[in-house]
Amino acid sequence: MSAPDTINHLIFEIARFSFSQSHPILEKYGLYPGQPRLLLCLYHENGVSQGTLAEKLQVKASTITMAIKRLERGGLLRKACDTEDKRVCRIFLTDKGYSVCRELKLIHDSQEALYTENFSIEEKIILKRLLMQVRQNLIDAELKGDE
């Protein structure tokens, strides 16, 4: 177990608090923890292919396939073949999917405001830069493990 003030412990606690705040909407719509990211990705860029979606979310294609099936069953998105290349399947939000995304976006915006309450603009920029570097370090470590 890590000490209360270690970076690892702080990240874990922040993730836990963040999840507990967003859990009610996940439960309301029967979503799994990774699915809001997928939905919000489509909210910002609807109609991307499954492969592009996997790349953007940095997950395996099989993970995306399973999530899409579940979200499609829930009526939040639909698949359609590309008009030019029938081998490519594009993913689109349904009206219900857009509605859920608007709710998710409100929660995410309020969480971000809460996270950075009493921060100066400079502190927000620094925090974001540091978190992006932590993420990149983890991505690089994962890629090294795949070699």
The answer to whether position 67 is within a domain reads yes
- Count the Cβ atoms, other than its own, within 10 Å of residue 65: 14
Q: Which pLDDT score is estimated for 24? A: 87
Which range marks the domain in which residue 64 is found?
7-115
The answer to whether position 132 is within a domain reads no
Number of domain units in the chain: 1
Please name which of 60, 70, 73, 58 lies closest in space to residue 139, comparing C-alpha atoms: 58
Letter for the amino acid at 50? Q
Which H helix or E strand runs over 66?
Answer: helix 61-73
The answer to whether position 102 is within a domain reads yes
The answer to whether position 2 is within a domain reads no
Q: Which pLDDT score is estimated for 39? A: 96
The answer to whether position 125 is within a domain reads no
Q: Which pLDDT score is estimated for 26? A: 87
- What is the separation of C-alpha 1 from the centre of its chain, rounded to a whole number of angstroms? 27
Q: Which pLDDT score is estimated for 85? A: 84
Q: Which pLDDT score is estimated for 19? A: 85
Written as six digits, the tokens of 46 are: 């609807």
Q: Which pLDDT score is estimated for 2? A: 59
Q: Which pLDDT score is estimated for 68? A: 94
Bridge partners of 48? 91
We report the CATH number of the domain holding residue 107 as 1.10.10.10
Report mean pLDDT in 10-residue bins for the chain, 147 residues: 81 90 86 92 94 91 91 95 86 97 92 95 97 92 78
The answer to whether position 12 is within a domain reads yes
The answer to whether position 147 is within a domain reads no
Alpha-carbon distance of 35 to 32, in angstroms, equals 6
Full-model pTM: 0.80
